[in-house]
């Protein structure tokens, strides 16, 4: 994988079992510091559950071994227009407070000699989402990775998401949505950008 998209893992080669063990031990200490009874039937296995969830699920994008392959097929139909995978579910975690970012991604590219299997676009979004993130970087990582794998500059990524660090703490502003976009190649031209936005939102808004 190109270094620009590699996860910022301190111990990328640490065995999974050791990662789980370390997180379990430290999370138990957090629970104790909070004054929780870790011998309670409901809580005694929580440190291990959290550790497994962190490593195997919500932060699985930190493991380069989970990087999705992008299968390309010959464009036999000579389709040369926008291909859009719309409303891809997005679940990530804010790296500032480790609380959820929930939203959707719209991923588009202009077909050339090769086209990608549609599910691969979803898998790329999921991979980069499954790590502590900021939305701006997440948007750029998905776009840059797809440009490299699809061998084209004609890629666009739009993300709309709600940040629970805004909704559930701090300002506690429910319903705010953060919108980020990354346009490349032909999508930098206003006509093509408007066409994409019309496909996504049903209008030509900028």
Per the annotation, the verdict on 151 as an active-site residue is no
Calpha distance 50→46 (Å, rounded): 6
Same domain, 93 and 190: yes
Is 94 designated active site? Answer: yes
Give the closest residue to 59 by CA, choosing from 100, 89, 26.
Answer: 100
For 162-177, the pLDDT digits (tens) are 988 876 766 666 778 9
Entry pTM: 0.90
In a domain, 134, yes or no: yes
Q: What is the pLDDT of residue 118?
A: 87
pLDDT in tens, 16-75: 999 999 999 999 999 999 999 999 999 999 999 999 999 999 999 999 999 999 999 999
126 and 175 fall within a common domain: yes
In a domain, 104, yes or no: yes
Read off the CATH number of the domain in which 16 is found.
1.10.286.10
Question: Does the structure show a pLDDT above 80 at 1?
Answer: no
Active site residue 160: no
Q: Which candidate in 85, 106, 133, 135 is catalytic? A: 135
Task: Tell me which of 85, 94, 106, 141 is the catalytic residue.
Answer: 94
Taking the C-alpha atoms of residue 115 and residue 85, their distance in angstroms, rounded to an integer, is 13
Annotation says 190 is catalytic: no
Same domain for 44 and 82, yes or no, is: no
Domain membership of residue 66 (yes or no) is no
pLDDT of residue 8: 58
Q: What is the pLDDT of residue 9?
A: 55
Q: Of 67, 148, 162, 165, which residue is the catalytic one? A: 165
Residues 90-129 pLDDT 10s = 999 999 999 999 999 999 999 999 999 989 999 999 999 9
Number of domains, the chain: 2
**Which residue range forms the structural domain that includes residue 26?**
10-58
Q: How far apart are CA 119 and CA 148, in angstroms?
A: 17
Q: Does residue 120 share a domain with residue 32?
A: no
CB atoms within 10 A of CB 156: 26
Question: Could you tell me which residues come within 8 angstroms of residue 20 by beta carbon, excluding any fewer than 6 positions away?
Answer: 48, 51, 52, 55
Same domain, 82 and 180: yes
121 and 50 in a single domain? The answer is: no
The yes-or-no answer on residue 97 being catalytic is: yes
Exactly one of 21, 96, 198, 201 is catalytic; which is it? Answer: 96
């Amino acid at each position: 994988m190109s270094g620009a998209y590699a996860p910022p893992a301190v111990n990328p080669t640490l065995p999974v079992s050791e990662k789980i063990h370390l997180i379990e031990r430290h999370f138990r200490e957090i629970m104790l510091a909070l004054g929780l009874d870790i011998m309670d039937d409901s809580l005694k296995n929580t440190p291990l559950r959290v550790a497994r969830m962190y490593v195997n699920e919500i932060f699985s994008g930190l493991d380069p071994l989970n990087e999705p392959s992008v299968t390309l097929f010959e464009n036999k139909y000579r389709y040369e227009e926008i291909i859009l995978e719309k409303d891809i579910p997005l679940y990530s975690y804010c790296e500032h407070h480790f609380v959820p970012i929930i939203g959707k991604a719209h991923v588009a590219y202009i077909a050339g000699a090769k086209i990608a299997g549609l599910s691969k676009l979803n898998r790329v979004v999921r991979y980069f989402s499954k790590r502590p993130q900021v939305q701006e970087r997440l948007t750029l990582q998905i776009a840059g990775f797809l440009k490299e794998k699809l061998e084209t500059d004609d890629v666009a990524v739009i993300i709309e998401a709600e940040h629970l660090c805004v909704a559930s703490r701090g300002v506690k502003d429910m319903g705010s949505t953060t919108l980020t976009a990354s346009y490349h190649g032909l999508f930098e031209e206003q006509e093509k950008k408007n066409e994409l936005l019309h496909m996504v939102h049903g209008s030509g808004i900028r």
